[in-house]
Structure 1
Amino acid sequence: MAIKPKLFKQMTKLIAGSMSAGRYDVRLAESDAEVIDAQKLRYRVLYKESGGTVTPQMLNSEQEEDEWDEIAYHVVVLDRRNDNHVVGTMRLVSSTALKDAQQFYTEHAFDITGLRARYGKLLELSRACVSPDGRGGAILMLIWKFTMQFIEQNQYDVMLGCASFKGTDYLEHTEILSYLYDKHLASPELMPIPKPAVHSVSIKSFSETPGKGKERGKVPTMLRGYLKIGAHISDHAVIDPVFNTTFVAIYVDASYMFGSNHALVNKSVHH
C-alpha cells in the first residue's frame, strides 16, 4: 500500500500539530514508511495477539491494511528512544475523504442512516492499538488527547466507530454489554442498525437478566474515555470471527465533547 502524494498535500490544510509525553511523540503519519509501521503494529496486535483470522497476504507482508488506509489520517505515536518506531496508532477516516459511493468501515456491519442524516461532518475512529510493551497509559493517553484535539480543531460534528471485546462468545461479555445498554444506549432516531448479512445479537435479550447491567469495572480504558464524553452504543452486538471480537457501534456528538460553541460553529458551516 502506498499513500498518494496528494493525501499529504491535503494534510497540510488541517490543523494537526503534535504532542509529547516522556519518550513519546504523537502526530499524523508523514511518510509511507510510518503508515507501514502502523499497519505492522495493527497486524501484531489485532491479529496475531488477538487470534484473528490471518490471510496469506498478511503472512507475507506482516501488515494489516484495507481500502480505507489510502484515504485515512494515521495517528502515530513514535518512541524517540527506539529509533522513532511506531508504538501506537489510530486511524481517522473523514466523511469528506470518502470516495463516491464508499462507506465507512463501520457501515459494513451497521446502517448509520440516522447519524448521516443528523450530522454534516463525520469522523470514523478505528484500528486503535498500542504495542504490548507500552501499555502503561502514556501512549494511549497521547492517542486519545491528540484525536480529541484533531476533532475539535477541524470542526467535526460527530465521531463514530466500533467498541470491541476480545472473543466471539458474547456470553463472556454480558455484564459490560448490559451496563452499556442500560446507561449509554443510542436514541431510536440515531440508532446504528446491524445489517442482515452480519451475525448480531440483541443486547436487550440478556440485559434484563437479574444482576446484570451493573458492572462497570471491566470497561476497557479507551471505551471508558468515550463514555466520559457522552458516547452512545447500538442495541445489538456483532460477532466478528475475522478479528475474533464481539463489538458494538459507538458514536459521540462533538457538541457534548466541547460545548455549545462547537455546535454553533458547525451549524453555521454545514447548514
Structure 2
Amino acid sequence: MLNLRKSRYTVRIANDREDIAAAQRLRYMAFVSEAGAQLREDGLDADDFDALCHHVLIEDRKSGQLVCCFRFLDLKDGGDIGKSYSAQYYGLDRLATYKGRMVEMGRFCVHPEWRDADILRVAWGAMTTYVDDNAVDMLFGCSSFHGTDWAVHADALAMLKHRHLGPKGLLPHVKAPNVFKFAARLRRKPNAKRAALAMPPLLKTYLMMGGWVSDHAVVDRELGTMHVFTGVEISAIPPARKKLLRAVAG
C-alpha cells in the first residue's frame, strides 16, 4: 500500500499492534492531554474503529519520531456507510445510496511539538496517492473545532453556512443528542478574516478542495470539541488543486 519518502518524512501504513499503539499515544497527546479533555489512565486514544481502519504513520526520517498520524476506512459504496465512525453522530441515510467508492478519514493529528507545514502537505500527498491508486470517489469525515462554545467559532461557522453547506440530496440529518444548528441559528454575516483564522487547518484543506459540510455541528464534551461532517467528492476538486496534490504525491 502506501510507502513514501517525501521531504524529510517517511509515510507508511501501520504494520502491527505496536504501530497502532504509537498512533493511539500520539492521538492521546493531541486530543486529550494537550486539549484539556478528560484524562484516561492508559494514555491511549482508542476505540473499536481502530481494528477496522488502516493507520497512516508519518515519521521523521532521521530520528524515527512519529510526527503525524491518521486513519482511514475504505468503503465500497454508500451502502456501507453505516459502518463508519461518522454514522455514530450523523444521520447518513442520504449518502447510503451513493454509488462510488468512499473513504472515511479520521483521527488526524500532528505532534504538538512539530509545526512544520510540510507535514500536512505530505499527509495529503499520501492520501492523494491512495485515492488515485484505488479509484476513490469521495472522502468524508468529522472536522473538529477546539472548544464547545459555538460563539468562539461564530465567524467560521457563519462562513460554513454562507459558502460551504452540502447539497440537500446528501446533507446529513441530526442524530447526536447535543448539536448546534448553525445554519438555522446564525444570522450574522461572517467576517472573512476572523473566519479564516478560526477555521481548523484540516477543514480548511477540505474546503479548498471543494468540500462541503453538514448544517449542524456535533458537540463532544468528552473531547471538548465541536465537529461538522465534511465531504469531498473527488470529481469536484478544482483542477489546479488536483495538480498541486498530485505534485506532492509524486
Counterpart Cα distance in 2 of 1:238 and 1:213: 23
What residue is the counterpart of 1:233 in the other structure?
A: 213
Establish whether residue 18 from structure 1 lines up as the match of residue 40 from structure 2. no
153, 169, 182: which one aligns with 1:203 = 182
Counterpart Cα distance in 1 of 2:187 and 2:173: 20
Establish whether residue 27 from structure 1 lines up as the match of residue 12 from structure 2. yes
Offset from partner CA, 1:168-219 (integer Å, 9 cap, x none): 1111111001101111110111001220x4211211234322x436333332
Matched-pair identity in %: 28
Structure 1 residue 119: Cα displacement = 3.4
Structure 1 residue 253: Cα displacement = 0.5
What residue is the counterpart of 1:135 in the other structure?
A: 115
Establish whether residue 110 from structure 1 lines up as the match of residue 80 from structure 2. no
154, 169, 191: which one aligns with 1:189 = 169
Counterpart Cα distance in 2 of 1:187 and 1:258: 17
One-letter amino acid of the counterpart of residue 11, structure 2:
V
Establish whether residue 45 from structure 1 lines up as the match of residue 25 from structure 2. no
One-letter amino acid of the counterpart of residue 143, structure 1:
A
One-letter amino acid of the counterpart of residue 50, structure 2:
D
Counterpart Cα distance in 2 of 1:249 and 1:131: 24
Counterpart Cα distance in 2 of 1:110 and 1:53: 23
One-letter amino acid of the counterpart of residue 45, structure 1:
A
58, 61, 69: which one aligns with 1:77 = 58
Q: Contact conserved, 1:19 with 1:26, CA < 8 A, in 2?
A: yes
Offset from partner CA, 1:32-90 (integer Å, 9 cap, x none): 22111111000111111112223xxx41x2111111111211110112332x2321101
Q: Based on CA coordinates, which of the two structures has the bigger radius of gyration?
A: 1
Offset from partner CA, 1:124-143 (integer Å, 9 cap, x none): 11100011121221222211
Q: Contact conserved, 1:170 with 1:239, CA < 8 A, in 2?
A: no
Counterpart Cα distance in 1 of 2:127 and 2:57: 11
| Structure 2 unaligned regions, length at least 5 | 240-250
Q: Contact conserved, 2:210 with 2:238, CA < 8 A, in 1?
A: no
TM-score normalised over the length of structure 1: 0.81
Counterpart mapping for 1:134-173 below 5 A: 134-173=114-153
Quote the RMSD (CA, aligned, Å): 2.3
Counterpart Cα distance in 2 of 1:128 and 1:114: 25
1:19 alignment partner, SS class: strand
Q: Contact conserved, 1:122 with 1:159, CA < 8 A, in 2?
A: yes
> Runs of 4 or more off by more than 6 Å in structure 1?
none
Q: Contact conserved, 2:174 with 2:216, CA < 8 A, in 1?
A: yes
Q: Contact conserved, 2:76 with 2:100, CA < 8 A, in 1?
A: no
TM-score normalised over the length of structure 2: 0.87
1:125 alignment partner, SS class: strand
Q: Contact conserved, 2:81 with 2:92, CA < 8 A, in 1?
A: no
What residue is the counterpart of 1:267 in the other structure?
A: none
One-letter amino acid of the counterpart of residue 30, structure 2:
V
2:196 alignment partner, SS class: coil
Establish whether residue 176 from structure 1 lines up as the match of residue 153 from structure 2. no
Q: Give the aligned length.
A: 237
Counterpart Cα distance in 2 of 1:155 and 1:114: 22
One-letter amino acid of the counterpart of residue 57, structure 2:
V
